[in-house]
């Protein structure tokens, strides 16, 4: 079991190293094949662990395998170890599986890019980092993986580094993630202080309510930053500057879900700090509404999907905050399938239209890209949560859990249902605009179909696989009747709430209804064009400016920092530097100039000086002695 886990972890690292060391000795295509192979090997390792774990039961399913002692200082010591338990195996399967598919897709998508090798090295690095995060056997390794995925995200967002937008987006993402890293580090410091270590066991210790609240708050800060929830959500839409497979893998399927994983992994702390857990759920609900609203006015195809990701992660946070851990994780899994599917399908559209991403220029792609049309349809239906697609099974159980949480839970429930309507609306707005109607002028001019070679196979094939997963992947669990996912994760995280049967069915029904209503509204506005889209200029402006969060942060943090820097420069650095260094130099030069004037070069002056000094000295000697 642990061997599989180690293979899973190490394989992408080996690929990253080999591609980096190979450099130009590898052809670009070979780098892609190598990375894909490594990810598939990784997946088989994860599969092997999974199968082995099936053969065990209960507490036997949790194994820590230590390779060596990594860090040892005083009373604190930390090993380089992997934890193989149901939660980590589930994440391993998702990360390596979806990762392998997306890396395979990249072979086609990035074909022809001069820096393909660098791309595949970074992708392998990312997969390794993410696996380290989920497999890390102690909190320190989790933090290491956490930081490394942030790094990989930075490297991949800014992959096309000649574009200033990409660089700016990469910096923004990294800086906002760093805020979360800082809060997490503080939380870990507190843990070390109180319990002396960072093994996962310390999470189960009992803490005073202040400590628990502070630690949970720190962890929540990290989760919020990594998962782009309120209030640190502004980096995710900008991160769409990276290549589409990057958006699919990092900013949809895996990295942004790390926050949810963190909350589930450290649920013991959150259970000791119920207010913070409620805060997490509340932030999730707020984000899902915010993102849903903003997605209604976006015109970039990838940004719509990005906001939808933000919104769906809000659901996961909602679930995790309420204690419905298994439901949150299940939604994480199905979301990975259909969100990756949507992104990759969008990537096919973008490639077919010569890298155009503005949906206002698109239209009528149904006949030109039939496979993609069906894939997007499946993905969109799964996203909205329509039976029998994947999202249906996972989303509703979260809403049911909200109902079981008291009055606050009902508020969240209403928010969640509103979100479902919005999801239907914006998802199908996108779908109808891009695929419906007649081909637009732009499309007729620039469209070119995918070639039927490796490129076409890699892109089309992986999309097909993900479509199948989005179709059938949800059938693993249907809360009222069969729930193997719950049972699977029960040993790791016992759910806090168990919704009753009527709550389950009510949620299912309401959410289905609202989802269909959203789809119908989208059809009215954008599909059949029967009703004009309602426009409220004020609302339109607020949504287009993303609720002015960027401007707010600019005013709160960036401008004061710039002013401070400028002020210090003028008031402190200039005078000090000028006063000390420059003026010292000038003074030394002036003194030197004065002294240099004594050197007239004339013999007579020197001799006169000698004679005068002898005369003076003679007086002194005679007088003193």
Partner 1 sequence: MLVATAGNVLVWAVWMVAAFACLASAVAVVSFSNPFYSALALIGNLGSLAVLYLLLSSEFVAAAQVLVYAGAVMVMFLFVIAYIGPRSESPWAGGPSWQAVGAVLAAAALLVEIIVAIGLKAGGRLAHSPDVHGSFGSPAYIGRLFLTDHLLAFEITSIVLLVAAIGGVILGAHSRRLPEELPHP
Partner 2 sequence: MTGPGVAWYLGVAAFLFATGSLGVLLRRNPLIVLLSLEIMLNGANLALIGFSRNFGNGDGQIFALAVMAVAASEVVVGLGLIVALNRKRVTLDVDRLNRLRG
Residues that bind partner 2 (CB under 8 A): 595-604, 607-608, 611
Select from partner 1, partner 2, none the partner in contact with residue 603, using the beta carbon and a kind-dependent cut-off of 5 to 8 Å. partner 2
Chain residues binding partner 1 by CB under 8 A are 604-605, 608, 611-612, 614-615, 618-619, 621-622, 625
Show Cβ contacts of residue 119 under 8 Å, excluding neighbours closer than 6 positions: 106, 110, 113, 156, 159, 243
Pick the closer one to partner 2 by CB: 441 or 603.
603
**Taking the complex as a whole, how short is the minimal distance between the CB of residue 594 and partner 2, in angstroms?**
11
Select from partner 1, partner 2, none the partner in contact with residue 535, using the beta carbon and a kind-dependent cut-off of 5 to 8 Å. none
**Taking the complex as a whole, how short is the minimal distance between the CB of residue 593 and partner 1, in angstroms?**
22
Pick the closer one to partner 1 by CB: 68 or 621.
621
Give the pair of three-digit tokens for residue 489: 């994760």
Select from partner 2, partner 1, none the partner in contact with residue 582, using the beta carbon and a kind-dependent cut-off of 5 to 8 Å. none
**Taking the complex as a whole, how short is the minimal distance between the CB of residue 601 and partner 1, in angstroms?**
14
Select from partner 1, partner 2, none the partner in contact with residue 564, using the beta carbon and a kind-dependent cut-off of 5 to 8 Å. none
Give the pair of three-digit tokens for residue 418: 């509103």
- Are residues 249 and 342 in contact, defined by beta-carbon separation less than 8 angstroms? no
H runs (alpha helix) in 112-163: 116-135, 139-157
Give the pair of three-digit tokens for residue 430: 């996108």
Output the furthest CA–CA distance in the chain (Å, rounded). Answer: 121
**Taking the complex as a whole, how short is the minimal distance between the CB of residue 597 and partner 2, in angstroms?**
7
The span from the CA of 551 to the CA of 432, in Å, is: 32
Select from partner 1, partner 2, none the partner in contact with residue 622, using the beta carbon and a kind-dependent cut-off of 5 to 8 Å. partner 1
CA distances from 281 to 198, 391, 409 (A): 26, 19, 9
**Taking the complex as a whole, how short is the minimal distance between the CB of residue 624 and partner 1, in angstroms?**
12
Rg (CA), the chain: 31
Identify the three-state secondary structure at position 540: helix
Pick the closer one to partner 2 by CB: 73 or 598.
598
**How many CA atoms are closer than 13 Å to the CA of 566, on its beta-carbon side?**
6
Pick the closer one to partner 2 by CB: 556 or 608.
608
The span from the CA of 267 to the CA of 325, in Å, is: 8
**Taking the complex as a whole, how short is the minimal distance between the CB of residue 612 and partner 1, in angstroms?**
5
The number of helix segments (H) and strand segments (E) in the chain equals 27, 2
**Spacing of C-alpha 1 from chain mean position:** 29
Pick the closer one to partner 1 by CB: 538 or 598.
598
Select from partner 1, partner 2, none the partner in contact with residue 210, using the beta carbon and a kind-dependent cut-off of 5 to 8 Å. none
**Taking the complex as a whole, how short is the minimal distance between the CB of residue 621 and partner 2, in angstroms?**
16
CA distances from 523 to 206, 358, 562, 569 (A): 54, 20, 47, 58
**Taking the complex as a whole, how short is the minimal distance between the CB of residue 596 and partner 2, in angstroms?**
4
- Are residues 302 and 347 in contact, defined by beta-carbon separation less than 8 angstroms? no
Select from partner 1, partner 2, none the partner in contact with residue 618, using the beta carbon and a kind-dependent cut-off of 5 to 8 Å. partner 1
H runs (alpha helix) in 196-273: 209-226, 235-238, 244-248, 258-265, 267-272
H runs (alpha helix) in 239-389: 244-248, 258-265, 267-272, 274-295, 301-322, 325-352, 370-384
**Taking the complex as a whole, how short is the minimal distance between the CB of residue 623 and partner 2, in angstroms?**
19
Pick the closer one to partner 2 by CB: 275 or 589.
589
**Taking the complex as a whole, how short is the minimal distance between the CB of residue 619 and partner 1, in angstroms?**
6
DSSP state of 363: -
Pick the closer one to partner 2 by CB: 482 or 606.
606
**Taking the complex as a whole, how short is the minimal distance between the CB of residue 569 and partner 2, in angstroms?**
39
DSSP assignment string, 42-70? HHHHHHHHHHHHHTS-GGGG-EEEEEEEE
Residue found under tokens 């000697």: 621
- Are residues 90 and 488 in contact, defined by beta-carbon separation less than 8 angstroms? yes
Pick the closer one to partner 2 by CB: 562 or 611.
611
Select from partner 2, partner 1, none the partner in contact with residue 536, using the beta carbon and a kind-dependent cut-off of 5 to 8 Å. none
Pick the closer one to partner 2 by CB: 538 or 598.
598
Select from partner 2, partner 1, none the partner in contact with residue 206, using the beta carbon and a kind-dependent cut-off of 5 to 8 Å. none
Measured over the CA atoms of residue 129, residue 132, residue 133 and residue 135, the dihedral's sign is positive
Which helix (H) or strand (E) segment holds residue 19: the answer is helix 2-22
Select from partner 1, partner 2, none the partner in contact with residue 601, using the beta carbon and a kind-dependent cut-off of 5 to 8 Å. partner 2
**Taking the complex as a whole, how short is the minimal distance between the CB of residue 599 and partner 2, in angstroms?**
3
Pick the closer one to partner 1 by CB: 597 or 625.
625
Pick the closer one to partner 1 by CB: 574 or 612.
612
Give the pair of three-digit tokens for residue 596: 């240099």
Select from partner 1, partner 2, none the partner in contact with residue 599, using the beta carbon and a kind-dependent cut-off of 5 to 8 Å. partner 2
Select from partner 1, partner 2, none the partner in contact with residue 597, using the beta carbon and a kind-dependent cut-off of 5 to 8 Å. partner 2
Pick the closer one to partner 2 by CB: 595 or 622.
595
């Amino acid at each position: 079991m642990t061997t599989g886990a180690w293979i899973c972890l190490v394989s992408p690292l080996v690929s990253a190293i080999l591609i980096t060391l190979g450099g130009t000795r590898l052809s670009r295509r070979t780098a892609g094949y190598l990375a894909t192979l490594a990810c598939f090997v990784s997946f088989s390792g994860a599969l092997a662990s999974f199968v082995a774990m099936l053969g065990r039961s209960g507490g036997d399913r949790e194994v820590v395998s230590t390779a060596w002692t990594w860090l040892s200082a005083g009373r604190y010591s930390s090993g380089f170890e992997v934890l193989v338990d149901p939660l980590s195996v589930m994440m391993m399967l998702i990360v390596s599986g979806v990762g392998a598919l997306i890396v395979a897709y990249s072979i086609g998508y990035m074909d022809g890019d001069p820096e393909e090798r660098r791309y595949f090295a970074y992708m392998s690095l990312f997969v390794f980092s993410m696996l380290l995060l989920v497999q890390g056997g102690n909190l320190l390794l989790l933090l290491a993986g956490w930081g490394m995925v942030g790094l990989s995200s930075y490297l991949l967002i800014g992959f096309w580094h000649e574009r200033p937008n990409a660089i700016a987006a990469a910096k923004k993402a990294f800086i906002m993630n760093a805020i979360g890293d800082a809060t997490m580090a503080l939380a870990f410091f507190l843990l070390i202080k109180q319990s002396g270590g960072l093994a996962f066991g310390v999470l189960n210790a009992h803490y005073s309510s202040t400590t628990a609240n502070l630690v949970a708050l720190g962890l929540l800060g990290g989760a919020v930053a990594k998962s782009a929830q309120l209030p640190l959500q502004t980096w995710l839409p900008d991160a769409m500057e990276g290549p589409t497979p990057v958006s699919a893998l990092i900013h949809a399927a895996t990295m942004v879900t790390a926050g949810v994983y963190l909350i589930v992994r450290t649920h013991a702390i959150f259970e000791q700090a119920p207010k913070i857990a409620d805060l997490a759920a509340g932030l999730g609900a707020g984000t899902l509404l915010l993102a849903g609203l903003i997605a209604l006015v976006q015109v970039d195809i990838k940004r719509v999907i990005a906001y939808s990701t933000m919104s769906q992660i809000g659901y996961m946070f909602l679930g995790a905050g309420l204690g419905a851990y298994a439901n949150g994780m299940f939604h994480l899994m199905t979301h990975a399938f259909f969100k990756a599917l949507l992104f990759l399908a969008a990537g096919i559209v973008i490639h077919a239209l010569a890298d155009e991403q503005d949906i206002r220029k698109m239209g009528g792609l149904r006949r030109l890209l039939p496979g993609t049309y069906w894939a997007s349809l499946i993905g969109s239906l799964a996203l909205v949560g329509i039976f029998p697609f994947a999202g249906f099974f996972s989303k509703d159980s979260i809403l049911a859990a909200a109902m079981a949480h008291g009055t606050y839970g009902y508020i969240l429930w209403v928010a969640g249902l509103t979100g479902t309507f919005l999801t239907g609306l914006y998802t199908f707005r996108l779908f109808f605009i891009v695929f419906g109607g007649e081909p637009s002028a732009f499309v007729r001019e620039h469209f070119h179909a995918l070639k039927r070679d490796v490129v076409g196979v890699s892109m089309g094939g992986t999309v097909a696989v993900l479509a199948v997963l989005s179709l059938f992947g949800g059938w693993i669990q249907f809360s009222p009747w069969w729930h193997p996912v719950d049972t699977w994760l029960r040993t790791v995280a016992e759910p806090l709430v168990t919704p009753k049967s009527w709550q389950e069915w009510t949620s299912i029904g309401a959410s289905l209804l609202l989802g269909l209503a959203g789809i119908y509204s989208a059809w009215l506005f954008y599909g059949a064009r029967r009703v004009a889209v309602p426009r409220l200029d004020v609302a339109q402006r607020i949504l287009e400016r993303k609720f002015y969060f960027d401007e707010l942060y600019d005013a709160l943090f960036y401008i004061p920092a710039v002013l401070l820097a400028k002020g210090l420069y003028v008031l402190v650095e200039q005078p000090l530097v000028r006063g000390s260094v420059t003026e010292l130099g000038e003074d030394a030069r002036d003194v030197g100039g004065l002294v240099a004037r004594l050197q007239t070069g004339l013999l007579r002056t020197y001799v006169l000086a000698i004679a005068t000094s002898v005369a003076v000295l003679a007086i002194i000697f005679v007088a003193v002695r």
